[in-house]
Structure 1
Amino acid sequence: MSPSPKLPEAAGPAGGPLAIICGGGAFPLAVAEAARRAGREVVLFPVRGFAGPEVEAWPHVWIHIGRFGQLTAEMRRRGCRDVVMIGNVLRPRIRDIRLDWATFWLLPSAFRMLRGGDDHLLTSLGRFFEEAGFRLLGAHEVAPEILLPAGRLGRVAPGAEAMADIVLGCRVLDVTGPLDIGQGLVVMNKHVVAMEAAEGTDLMLARVAELRANGRIKMPAPCGVLVKRPKAGQDRRFDLPSLGVRTVEGAARAGLAGIAVEAGGVIAAEAGALIAAADAAGLFVYGVAPGAEGAP
């Protein structure tokens, strides 16, 4: 197993509770638990329509997309200065946005935010918070344990053919990342068969499974690798690529041999369950250390 890269230390508090703006999925609570273990108070700000009811077991304030003034006022009232944004949130439809007065004055900037890729949107949103006096942290800075390390992470190891696919996949993502296209792709026998775009990883894997089912992919299973890594130049405080049990299940249905990630650049809320699912399916999960031999 390759030596793990040095992962970041948990970010120290700047004073007051940590504000966690919560989308959907398991990551917001994983970050909240990590912050509490580190002795940090937290207040969750779940986004209506995306976060689940499980957030109500924590100190929380429900928020609507478009109520930036209300959100920042609540964070100040509760003494929060550090902010993490984590979880699944889709771009809203205009009719779903409920503006408050403070957000109204930001509309010209907000419209410019929406005219671009996800990196542009998230970085612009982060700038709003910083200009309002808050410190934006990445989820991995608060909970470094959610970052996947280097080397073989389960019982199954990638073979030479899979390693060649991993190297090619990383090189392709180095080229497409600055174009804000996606964070993942599938490579089989040194051939890119699918790239992640707006549909996300799960639907990309479903597309690969369909290509196998209709005979467009003729290589026998298991064959091929899902490769995920952050985009080159990406602001890592936002939208780090993630893996979960559903990803493993999708890779298995697509007939892949395994999954490769950039070590220290991909997060998993439940790494133990993910690895157990991969072992049960006979898939490898492998962390490529940046700059390691064989990696681009």
Structure 2
Amino acid sequence: MTASLQPTSLVDPHPEERLVLVAGAGRLPELVAESLDRSGRPFRVLAIRGFAERPMRARAEATVDLLDIAGALQILEAWGPACVIPVGGVSRPNPAAILNAAAALRNRDALRAISGGGDDRLLRGALVLLEDNGHRVVGIHDVAPDLLSPEGQLGRLAPDLAARASIATGCGILAALAAYDVGQAIVVAAQRALAVEGPEGTDRMLARARALGRKPFGLGTAQPGTVLVKLAKTGQDLRVDLPAIGPRTVKAAAAAGCAGIAIQAGYTLIIDRDATVAEADRAGLFLIGLRIEA
């Protein structure tokens, strides 16, 4: 399998305005596409085979194998976009994503340069490769700011004094750890760090916090003022790793005994905002956006 184009013209009548959304896995590419639709910005979709979900595959004007770097660059060169927006995950491919051994062999030098360090290394390497080939790469925060958290209380509940004290503690700890490239999130209980996010991600960190903050098997009462704080790291490339939460995060935070979640306004993506806020209200958690300059 090689890069394949659906029957459309490769000549873009407005290249200075056109965006290209490179769609990976998950619902996020669809949300970004809907945001671009609302704003009236023209864009094309380049879907990654084996990753892009059905709605994005249906909108795609081209499909490319993850390993076919030359094919992807050829399509982008033909389209001549003003900028490229990589959106969605590439960490759990189905078999269709890894069948193209010929593409891997043809692009082995480029693949060797960007692999070998996990998903973050892969994404950063892909951005450098795109930029080296003359493409301007932007993030979701640049083109779909309506998907980011606003400032202030988002649900019907507000943090109490104990929770506010823990939020302040969490912000301070994350700021101090930013220089060491630690994760974006922390669970604070009674103003003490209970769990700090590492490479495992927020959900697994919350599972660890649940085991640490309660009795065995996750039973018992959580400590007062238990909160999840999630912020962008200082100097972080938001095109690669924009902080994000969604309904699943809220459920995991509730299971960990959190009274609420504090996120960075303007720098945190809320996936399915209405559903996320509704889940927080249902679970009895506050959800608040903090104004903190990154």
Please indicate, yes or no, whether the TM-score normalized by the shorter chain is above 0.5. Answer: yes
Equivalent in the alignment of 1:191: 192
- 1:261 and 1:14 map into 2 onto residues whose CA distance is 36
- 1:59 and 1:241 map into 2 onto residues whose CA distance is 26
TM-fit CA distance, 1:68: 1.3
Contact map agreement 1:81 1:133 (CA 8 A) in 2: no
Give CA-to-partner distance per residue, 1:216-265, whole Å, 9 cap, x none: 89653674111111111101222101010111111111111000011111
Amino acid aligned to 2:60: P
- 2:195 and 2:139 map into 1 onto residues whose CA distance is 29
Equivalent in the alignment of 1:144: 145
**CA separation of 1:188 and 1:221: change in aligned 2, threshold 3 A:** closer
Q: Which of the pair has the greater relative contact order for Cα pairs under 8 Å at 6+ separation?
A: 1
Equivalent in the alignment of 2:68: 67
Equivalent in the alignment of 1:165: 166
**CA separation of 1:117 and 1:66: change in aligned 2, threshold 3 A:** closer
- 1:39 and 1:216 map into 2 onto residues whose CA distance is 48
Does residue 1:289 correspond to 2:291, yes or no? yes
**CA separation of 1:283 and 1:216: change in aligned 2, threshold 3 A:** closer
* Matching residue within 233, 254, 277 for 1:275: 277
TM-fit CA distance, 1:22: 1.8
- 2:262 and 2:58 map into 1 onto residues whose CA distance is 35
Contact map agreement 1:86 1:239 (CA 8 A) in 2: no
- 1:127 and 1:220 map into 2 onto residues whose CA distance is 44
TM-fit CA distance, 1:108: 5.2
- 2:38 and 2:196 map into 1 onto residues whose CA distance is 38
* 180-189 or 71-80: bigger deviation: 71-80
* Matching residue within 227, 230, 233 for 2:235: 233
- 1:115 and 1:57 map into 2 onto residues whose CA distance is 32
TM-fit CA distance, 1:130: 1.0
3-state SS, counterpart of residue 264 of structure 1 = coil
* Matching residue within 226, 237, 243 for 1:224: 226
Contact map agreement 2:210 2:218 (CA 8 A) in 1: no
4+ residue runs over 4 A deviation: 95-98, 215-219
- 1:168 and 1:215 map into 2 onto residues whose CA distance is 27
- 1:138 and 1:259 map into 2 onto residues whose CA distance is 24
Contact map agreement 1:187 1:194 (CA 8 A) in 2: yes
Contact map agreement 2:27 2:53 (CA 8 A) in 1: no
**CA separation of 1:175 and 1:67: change in aligned 2, threshold 3 A:** farther
* Matching residue within 111, 114, 123 for 1:110: 114
Gaps of 5+ in 1: 1-12
CA RMSD of aligned residues (A): 2.8
- 2:183 and 2:110 map into 1 onto residues whose CA distance is 28
Amino acid aligned to 1:43: R
3-state SS, counterpart of residue 205 of structure 1 = helix
- 2:62 and 2:89 map into 1 onto residues whose CA distance is 18
- 1:87 and 1:150 map into 2 onto residues whose CA distance is 25
Amino acid aligned to 1:124: G
Contact map agreement 1:222 1:255 (CA 8 A) in 2: no
**CA separation of 1:23 and 1:135: change in aligned 2, threshold 3 A:** same
Equivalent in the alignment of 1:243: 245
- 1:172 and 1:122 map into 2 onto residues whose CA distance is 27
Contact map agreement 2:44 2:60 (CA 8 A) in 1: yes
3-state SS, counterpart of residue 288 of structure 2 = strand
TM-fit CA distance, 1:77: 2.5
Give CA-to-partner distance per residue, 1:12-35, whole Å, 9 cap, x none: x96253211222222111111111
- 1:263 and 1:253 map into 2 onto residues whose CA distance is 24
